[in-house]
């Protein structure tokens, strides 16, 4: 009897997985047919461009510091950031 119950559970799980695959296929089909158009205002585009420029400048300065040997890594600061990120994920 216990084996039959186990087989029923395994069968149910297999069926659920197949249904999930079928649903995901249907979602993919329907979402690929739909197109979304987004219009960004000139002001928003200007902000995006300014942000990209600032980011590029920051990346370039870090690259230069690494090449010069002036870039220092603070392991404590990194570990604190990792711990905080994990706490945020877990809602602590």
Residue range of the domain that includes 55: 41-83
Phi, psi of 39 (to 5 degrees): -110, 130
Q: Is residue 30 included in any domain, yes or no?
A: no
Note whether residue 91 is domain-resident.
Answer: no
Q: List, for residues 26-53, the tens digit of each pLDDT value.
A: 766 665 567 778 888 999 999 998 999 9
Residue 8 confidence (pLDDT) above 50: yes
Domain membership of residue 13 (yes or no) is no
Model-level pTM greater than 0.85?
Answer: no
Would you say residue 52 lies in a domain?
Answer: yes
Which region, left, alpha or beta, applies to residue 69 given φ > 0 means left and ψ of -120 to 50 means alpha?
left
CA-CA distance, 92 to 84, in Å (whole number)?
9
67 lies in some domain = yes
Domain count, the chain: 1
pLDDT grade, residue 68 (50/70/90)?
very high
Indicate whether 46 belongs to any domain: yes
pLDDT of residue 78: 94
């Amino acid at each position: 009897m216990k084996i039959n119950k186990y087989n029923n559970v395994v069968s149910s799980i297999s069926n659920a997985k197949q249904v999930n695959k079928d649903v995901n296929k249907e979602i993919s089909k329907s979402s690929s047919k739909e197109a979304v158009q987004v219009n960004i205002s000139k002001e928003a585009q200007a902000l995006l461009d300014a942000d990209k420029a600032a980011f590029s400048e920051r990346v370039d300065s870090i690259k230069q510091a690494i090449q010069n040997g002036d870039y220092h890594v603070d392991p404590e600061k990194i570990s604190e950031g990792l711990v905080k990120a994990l706490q945020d994920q877990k809602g602590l």
